[in-house]
């Protein structure tokens, strides 16, 4: 296919996607899709709250609060301080991915929720938007973000999706929240596509904490792109082709921009995390937990001589056995495996700063080897793991996990996600779980309640 043909197909596909998204009505969205969107919103707010006391996050929030220009939207942390729209969006954008507990999408690596929802929620509070409008924007941004990522999967594994799709996801959400027509939405997306952050995937693996800032940068850039779009300023109609094909070297698949629009709701294909780590670690962690359940004496690691992990080709990128930051630990399969054996997969100590200096974990990390599985099935079974423990007494114990719990192949029931939300938010925002549960129930009855996003967010926190 010629370059001109591909470029025209991208232009047409993007135009069709914008036409569909701009015309999307809340009452045309299936109730189960709306209820799932509410669950994802709650999960991501809880992930944000979980990072509120991380030293770097708290210091950044304190700086924003000290110089805030308004009190339009909530910063999701203890005490629910308020700041200007952009300030709150950036503050929550920094925190939402910090602990690797936000939702994600596995057909290709992208986190459209974390990249769009900080700006959607801040703007919805600031604008007094209805919950119906907030949910419509959340779902529409998910559709746009996932389809762009599926159209250009070739940015992986060189570039991290938090940078490649940050501005376009944020711009999509805000433009839809504010009722942009197709032309304005197109201008916002084509402008935002030129503002993406080409952050190297290696930064996450090496633990460079700036990776956690890419979602926050996207919130600001998405806001700027939408402001420009309202003034008639945008990119070229095929702008994403110029950025992703010509600029970043990814080969486009334009058909993915519109495949299944209105029937294949991509927000249903996401995953929820039980473990605070890169999703490519989860199957191995779960396999180890199954072995420890059968052999409790393995806990602590004293009886383990070495560990061999087999996984997908993508998983082989996460072999850093000596991470120096908590982010690096979350993107290290050796650390995740060692920490699971020593502490347990859901133990909050596993990826703490102290875990980096833990002698038992460090010793075991150095004895983890990795290799590709000879065969890996297509999505949604494309992130499996086989783990073999070599014990000091000469025995070998092996276990496999074809797909981690919480992935599209083994989705978590809503009750389990609500348990996670409660565990992460009970202290700073004790009303979050009930607010999510009530919103899901009201969606099932036909109309989301309470009326506005501002009222919903206020219900998370204790009254002062």
Q: Choose one of 372, 401, 430: the last residue of a domain.
A: 401
Same domain for 366 and 252? no
Residue with tokens 């890169």: 278
First to last CA, the chain: 62
* Radius of gyration over every alpha carbon of the chain, rounded to an integer in angstroms: 22
The CATH number assigned to the domain holding 263 equals 1.10.4100.10
Domain that holds residue 213: 3-271
User: In sequence order, what are the residues at sequence separation of 6 or more whose Cβ sits closer than 8 angstroms to the Cβ of residue 167?
Assistant: 192, 193, 195, 196, 197, 217, 218, 221, 222, 225
Are 14 and 79 contained in the same domain?
A: yes
Q: What are phi and psi of 74, to 5 degrees?
A: -90, 135
Q: Residue 435 domain-assigned? A: no
pLDDT value, residue 463:
82
The pairing of beta strand 73-74 with beta strand 82-83: antiparallel
Q: Is residue 432 part of a domain?
A: no
| One domain for residues 56 and 142 | yes
Global model pTM greater than 0.85 = yes
Q: For the domain that residue 299 is a member of, what is the CATH number?
A: 3.30.1330.120
Is 299 domain-assigned? yes
Q: Are residues 211 and 302 in the same domain?
A: no
Domain boundary among 362, 378, 401: 401
Cβ atoms 83, 75 nearer than 8 A: yes
Strand pairing report for 104-105 and 270-271: antiparallel
Domain-embedded: residue 394: yes
Q: Are residues 264 and 328 in the same domain?
A: no
**pLDDT reported for residue 464:** 66
Give domain status of residue 437, yes or no: no
Same domain, 156 and 283: no
Q: How many structural domains compose the chain? A: 2
Is 406 within a domain? Answer: no
Cβ atoms of residues 78 and 427 within 8 Å: yes
Rounded Cα distance, 323 and 461, in Å: 36
Tell me the pLDDT of the chain (464 aa) as tens digits: 689 999 999 999 999 999 999 999 999 999 999 999 999 999 999 999 999 999 999 999 999 999 999 999 999 999 999 999 999 999 999 999 999 999 999 999 999 999 999 999 999 999 999 999 999 999 999 999 999 999 999 999 999 999 999 999 999 999 999 999 999 999 999 999 999 989 999 999 999 999 999 999 999 999 999 999 999 999 999 999 999 999 999 999 999 999 999 999 999 999 999 999 999 999 999 999 999 999 999 999 999 999 999 999 999 999 999 999 999 999 999 999 999 999 999 998 999 999 999 999 999 999 999 999 999 999 999 999 999 999 999 999 999 999 999 999 999 999 999 999 999 999 999 999 999 999 999 999 998 999 999 999 999 999 86
Is there a domain that residue 334 lies in? Answer: yes
Instruction: Identify the pLDDT of residue 334.
Output: 98
Task: Answer whether 151's CB lies under 8 Å from 254's CB.
Answer: yes
Q: Establish if 349 belongs to a structural domain.
A: yes
CB 272 within 8 A of CB 406: yes
């Amino acid at each position: 296919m010629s370059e001109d043909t591909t470029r025209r197909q991208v232009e047409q596909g993007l135009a069709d996607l914008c036409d569909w998204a701009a015309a999307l009505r809340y009452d045309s969205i299936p109730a189960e899709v709306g209820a799932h969107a509410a669950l994802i919103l709650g999960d991501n707010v809880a992930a944000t709250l979980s990072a509120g006391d991380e030293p770097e996050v708290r210091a950044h929030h304190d700086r924003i609060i000290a110089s805030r220009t308004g009190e339009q939207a909530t910063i999701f942390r203890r005490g629910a301080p308020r700041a200007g729209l952009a300030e709150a969006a950036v503050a929550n954008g920094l925190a939402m991915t910090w602990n690797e507990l936000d939702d994600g999408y596995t057909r290709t690596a992208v986190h459209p929720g974390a990249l769009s929802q900080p700006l959607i929620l801040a703007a919805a509070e600031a604008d007094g938007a209805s919950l119906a409008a907030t949910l419509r924007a959340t779902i529409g941004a998910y559709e746009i973000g996932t389809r762009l990522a599926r159209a250009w999967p070739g940015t992986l594994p060189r570039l991290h999706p938090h940078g490649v799709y940050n501005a376009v996801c944020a711009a999509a959400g805000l433009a839809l929240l504010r009722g942009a027509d197709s032309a304005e939405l197109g201008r916002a997306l084509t402008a935002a596509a030129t503002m993406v952050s080409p952050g190297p995937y290696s930064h996450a693996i090496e633990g460079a904490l700036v990776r956690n800032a890419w979602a926050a940068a996207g919130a600001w850039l998405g806001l700027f792109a939408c402001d420009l779009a309202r003034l008639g300023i945008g990119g070229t109609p095929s702008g994403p082709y110029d950025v992703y094909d010509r600029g970043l070297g990814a080969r486009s698949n334009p058909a993915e921009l519109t495949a299944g629009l209105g029937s294949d709701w991509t927000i249903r294909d996401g995953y929820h995390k039980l473990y605070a780590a890169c999703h490519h670690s989860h199957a191995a962690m779960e396999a180890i937990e199954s072995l420890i359940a059968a052999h409790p004496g393995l806990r602590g690691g004293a009886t383990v001589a070495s560990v061999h992990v087999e996984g997908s080709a993508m998983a082989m990128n996460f072999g850093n056995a000596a991470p120096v930051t908590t982010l690096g630990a979350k993107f290290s399969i050796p650390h995740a495996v060692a920490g699971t054996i020593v502490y347990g997969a859901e133990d909050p100590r596993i990826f703490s700063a102290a875990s980096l200096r833990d002698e038992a974990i460090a010793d075991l990390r150095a004895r983890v080897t990795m290799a590709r599985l000879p065969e890996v099935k297509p999505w949604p079974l494309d992130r499996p793991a086989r783990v073999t423990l070599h014990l000091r007494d000469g025995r070998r114990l092996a276990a496999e996990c074809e797909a981690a719990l919480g992935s599209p192949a083994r989705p978590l029931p809503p009750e389990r996600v609500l348990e996670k939300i409660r565990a992460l938010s009970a202290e700073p925002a004790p009303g979050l779980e009930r607010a999510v549960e009530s919103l899901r129930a009201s969606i099932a009855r036909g109309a989301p309640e309470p009326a506005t996003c501002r009222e919903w967010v206020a219900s998370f926190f204790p009254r002062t």
